[in-house]
A and B are shown apart, each in its own frame.
Chain A
Amino acid sequence: MPTEQALTGSNRADPRARIVQAILLSVTIAAVNEIQAALLALLIAPAFSLALRVRIRDVLPGLAAANLFIAFLWLAIPFSVPGPVLFKLGFLSASIPGVHLALLITLKANAIMILFLALVCPLPISEITAALAALHVPDKLLNLLAFTFRFIFVLEEERGKLLRAAKNRGFRPKTNLHTYKTYAYIIGMVLIKSWERAEKVQQAMICRGFSGRYPSTREHALKRADVMFSLATIIAAGGIVLLELKGT
């Protein structure tokens, strides 16, 4: 998660460069079909973490969550792709292409996760929006991103309040219509409150002279290190593509 202390010391690569690199590499990796190429990607990704001095404890929770999801894929994919049988589990048989596919997904997903956790996640949200603005992402999308980040906690609080209010009056979730109705009411109230909040926020913005464009307080300049870093990324992407082409 972005923290206020992020981006200190050597962890100061240009946010625009970081975002472009993360996108370039992850698109390359996502397109790969060869195990060797995916393996190379998984080796390259931690190198970025090292270069950017990302702490392991900032990476592990994200990776664990992603791999929990991938574990479910392993329960299904090896047994559902047709092909020569690798091993049998009771009446289920795992195919070679199935295991190959599951392995490929695992390698690729982990490589991309590690890259994003190193390149993009340490950036504070304000840096990300500023960098995206510098990359000419439309204002509307940026506003959506910034407002989501700012108000998601407020909405969560709002939901918590309503749920606590319901519990206060003896509400205990069960599998019945009363429970579903109560949840529907709570979701409905959160929506209504969001709408009202949005209205007030807009009024407050208008009072401070807002006229549609979201001004940003940051300016960026590419430094030598950023150029070198970007070159390294291009070489890494090239290496992955090369292995991929050799395999086919």
Chain B
Amino acid sequence: MNMPSPLVNLEKICFSYTPERGVLHDLSLTVHPGCKTGIIGDNGAGKTTLLHIIMGLKMPTGGKVELFDKTMRGEKDFQSQRTRIGFVFQDAEDQLFCPTVLEDISFGPLNLGLSRDESLERARAVLKRLDLEDLGDRLIHKLSGGQKKLVSLATVLAMHPEMLILDEPTSGLDRTYRERLIQTLQEIDLPHLIVSHDFDFLDRTSREFFLLQDGRLQPGSASLLHSHRHIHPLGEISHEHGDCL
């Protein structure tokens, strides 16, 4: 079978903050077009570090990063490729920095060189697609946490990325917005890489699973995820597995 060239290809990535304590050891990962990949890992396992290395926000101490079939050698290489990946940060507060929602969403398209009108049009189209039309003129600091999360997804979607990377997307989300995020991700249908420790969320959004442990990725499966013993708070109240744990 002739595989199309991968979107992201990491080869033997090493990373450490201090010489004594390495975070990633010879980590390899390939995301092909159409891949919906979920990565699970404990706090401090290096999940966010891994994502930052893909985006070129941190430079690995060893190994090779390839984006869209090009080897990334430095900031210049990343500059031209990273806008093709939509990266949603863990904390929406970090991602949204403009006074109003429309301005924030049009920031990316403007950076891509689109005109004012085209950018605003894109921003409105994305808001409409995510069913957030009424938020356009709102001030960002007055939005709820869930709204901020969806708006930060909108800010990267407006750049028409070829894939999405989401860092702990459900942290701090309530049931309603968590469900909305799942629905949205299913509808968008872009290849993605999601890092989370919300098993059910990953199960419903991703098809391939990895466990990040000891600086390496180990392949897993959805059924494996569910063989974990987990505790439900308020377990005596009947619940479905799509619900928030």
Contact = CB atoms under 8 A, between A and B. Distances in A.
Interface string A196-227: 01001101111111110001111100000000
B89 A146 contact: no
A148 B95 CA distance: 15
Contact of B83 (A149, A203, A208): A208
Contacts of A207: 55, 57, 82-83, 85, 87, 156
Interface centre among B91, B110, B120 (most CB of A within 10 A): B110
Interface in B79-101: 79, 82-83, 85, 87, 89, 91, 93-100
A207 B81 CA distance: 10
B143 to A, nearest CB: 11
Contact of B111 (A147, A149, A197, A208): A208
A205 B106 CA distance: 12
B119 interface: yes
B contacts with A: majority SS: helix
Contact of A4 (B52, B95, B110, B139): B139
B120 A208 contact: no
Contacts, number: 89
A210 B109 CA distance: 10
B94 A204 contact: yes
A197 B93 contact: yes
Contacts of B93: 154, 197
Contacts of A153: 141
B137 A149 contact: no
A67 interface: no
A31 to B, nearest CB: 33
A126 interface: yes
Interface centre among A125, A151, A153, A209 (most CB of B within 10 A): A209
Contacts of B156: 207-208
B99 A126 contact: yes
A contacts with B: majority SS: helix
B159 A124 contact: no
B106 A210 contact: no
10 contacts: A150-B96, A150-B141, A203-B52, A204-B94, A207-B57, A208-B111, A208-B155, A215-B110, A217-B116, A217-B120
Interface of B: 52, 55, 57, 79, 82-83, 85, 87, 89, 91, 93-100, 102-103, 106-108, 110-112, 116, 119-120, 137-141, 155-156, 159
Given A206-B57, A209-B111, 19 more contacts: A4-B138, A126-B103, A146-B97, A150-B96, A150-B97, A150-B99, A150-B140, A197-B93, A200-B89, A203-B57, A203-B89, A207-B57, A208-B155, A209-B159, A211-B79, A215-B111, A216-B116, A217-B110, A217-B119
